[in-house]
Amino acid sequence: MSTTGTNPYESSSTASLPGRRIPNGKTIVKVQNGFNKHNESAQHQKSSYEQVPLHTACFTYLGFYLLMILGYINQLFFTPKVATEKFRDGYVPLYDAFEKFYLRYVYRRVKDCWNRPICSVPGSEVVLKDRITKDYGWSFEFTGTETKCLNLGSYNYLGFAQNEGPCADDAEECIWTYGLAACSSRRELGTNPLHNELEALTAKFLGVEDAIVFGMGFATNSLNIPTLISPGCLVVSDEKNHASIILGLRLSGATPKVFKHNNMKDLERVLKDSILTGQPGTGKPWKKILIIVEGVFSMEGSIVKLPEIIELKKKYKAYIYLDEAHSIGAMGPSGRGVVDYYGVDPNDIDILMGTFTKSFGSAGGYIAGNKVIAVVRTLTARNIAVVGVGFPATPIMEGRIRFCLSAAHTKEQLDYALSVIDDISDTLGLKYSRKPRNPHPIEY
C-alpha cells in the first residue's frame, strides 16, 4: 500500500524505473526480461525460529522412552510371525537391528496414523476409507464406511488437482491425441512434441535458456546430481535438505559437507575452511564447489536466504543448485518460486530444479539453467487429513506434521483447520512460541 503523496511505482534508489513495495520492506524493480531485480539495500528475509522449551523436549523424550521400554519387554515375550530375509548372503541387510525393532514394536502401535487409503480426488477435500485393526496394528480390515476430511495432506498448492476444470479437460484432450504415456524413457522411445513444448515453456517461465524434464520428481534430484558432480568436487548441503538430494550426493562420490540450517555464517565457515584445506588427503584444489539448498524446505517450511547465498557463491566462486520443488508456482508475485519472491536474477542461479507435482497437478520434474544440462500424525478424528512424517524419514525425535495448503481451500475451511489445530495443540502441549500474536485480522 502506498502512503499519501508517495508514488507506489517509484523506488527512491531507482526513480526512473517502475518499482513496487512489498510487505517485508523490500523494493523490487521491474527489468526488461519481466523478472524483478532485488534491491541490494533492502533487508533479506528472516525466517522465524524458536528453540523447543526444555519441558516440552523432556516430556517428548519421556514418552518415546516409555514406548521403547514397552517394546523391548514385548520383544522378550513375544516373537511375531513376520516375513524374514532369505538368500541374502553377501548383501547388506534391508533393515538394521534397531529399524526392525522400531517397525515391529513402536511404529506398529501407531501405524494407523500413516498410509491411510483414500477413495476420491485429492482436492480441497478428500475421502478416506475407514479401517480397524484387531491385532494392534499387524493387519487392518476395511469397515465399508468412509470419512470426508478437509485435505491438508496433498501437494495441491494451486488447486489444479481436480477432476473438472481446464486442467482436467486439457489432460483428457492430450490423452486422446498422444495416449496415456510413452511407457518408457525418451532415450529408448524418443521425444514427442509435448516434451519439447514443455521444456521450452518451462525455460521461458523460469527466465533461463533451456530446461530438461523428467518423469519422476525424486529421481530428478537423485539421478541427476551424480551427473553434475564427481569425486574431487565439494558439495555444501543444508542439513535439512530432502532425502532425494542426500541420495544423489551419496551416488555422486563427491565430498559432502553440511552446514547448519539456513545459517549463512556457518555456510561461509564451511566454504572458507574447505577451500583452505582442499581435497582430503591430497590438499588439491576442488574441481568444483556446489552449494545445494531448497527454496522452501520441505521438512521445515522455512524459506532459503537466497540473496545471501548468491553473495557467498560469487565471493567463493561456487555454483548454486536450487531445489524449488515446494516453491515453484507457490512463491513470488508471478509464481516463479523464491527467485521471483526475492526478485533476484535467475541467471545468478546455476542450476534450477523443480517438480510439476506440487503446484501444477502433474508428475515429474525439471532441471533448468543458462545452458542445456544434459548431462501424523492424522487429524482424522476431527475430519482433517495431513501428512505425518516420522522415523526413519526424520530423526527419531524430530517427527513432522506437514500441512499442505491449496488455492482450492476456502476461508471457512482454513478457519476450521486453524481452530482444530489450536485446540489439539493445547491438548498436547505443543504451544511453546513466545512471539506476540498479530492483533490485526487476516484479510483473504
List residues with catalytic annotation. 298, 326, 358
Sign of the Cα pseudo-torsion (410, 414, 419, 421, in order)? positive
Cα dist from 90 to 87, 94, 171, 343, whole Å:
9, 12, 47, 53
SS3 237: strand
Residue 169 neighbours by CB under 8 Å, 6+ apart: none
Check if the beta carbon of residue 323 is closer than 8 Å to that of residue 241: yes
The three cell numbers of residue 357 are 507435482
Asked, as a colleague might, if the bond just before 226 is cis with ω within 30 of 0, I would say no
Per the rule left: phi > 0, alpha: psi between -120 and 50, beta: everything else, 3 is beta
For residue 303, report the phi and psi dihedrals to the nearest 5 degrees: -105, 130
> In degrees, to the nearest 5, what angle opens at C-alpha 208 toward C-alphas 233 and 259?
35
- Residue 271 contacts by C-beta under 8 Å, 6 or more apart in sequence? 236, 289, 291, 312, 316, 318
Of 440, 283, 301, 293, which is closest to residue 353 (Cα–Cα)? 293
